[in-house]
Amino acid sequence: MATQYLCPWSRWRLSSKLVPVSRRELIRRLGDLGFNGPFTGTDHEFMTKGAVRVKLPNQHRGQDIGVDLLVRILRDSVISRDEWFSVA
């Protein structure tokens, strides 16, 4: 696997560590990975891809989605870390 850098002249590599993301960023990346939506549900909005249905966390004032919740969302939606970082 080739080493990825922030920019061609930078010596800082891209991290493979998950970091908190905004709800908007989560929806954008899921869309880039082929998910449709978001659709309105009874308690939460959700996105779908085939038979996979992912609940989106509700919007909270200025709070990002934490790493622990992000890991659960990625696991439930069958998305690998490599796929997640490929659409960053």
Domains of the chain with CATH codes = 23-86 (3.30.920.30)
pLDDT in tens, 37-88: 999 999 999 999 999 999 999 988 889 999 999 999 999 999 999 999 999 8
How much is the pTM? 0.81
Residue 32 tokens, joined: 């880039």
CA distance linking residue 69 with residue 84, whole number of Å: 14
CA distance linking residue 83 with residue 55, whole number of Å: 19
- From 18, 27, 22, select the one nearest 77 (Cα to Cα): 27
Question: What is the predicted pLDDT for the residue at 10?
Answer: 46
pLDDT in tens, 31-42: 999 999 999 999
Q: What is the percent of the chain where pLDDT is above 90? A: 69
Distance from CA of residue 78 to its chain's centroid? 11
| 34 phi, psi to nearest 5 deg | 100, 5
Question: What is the predicted pLDDT for the residue at 59?
Answer: 86
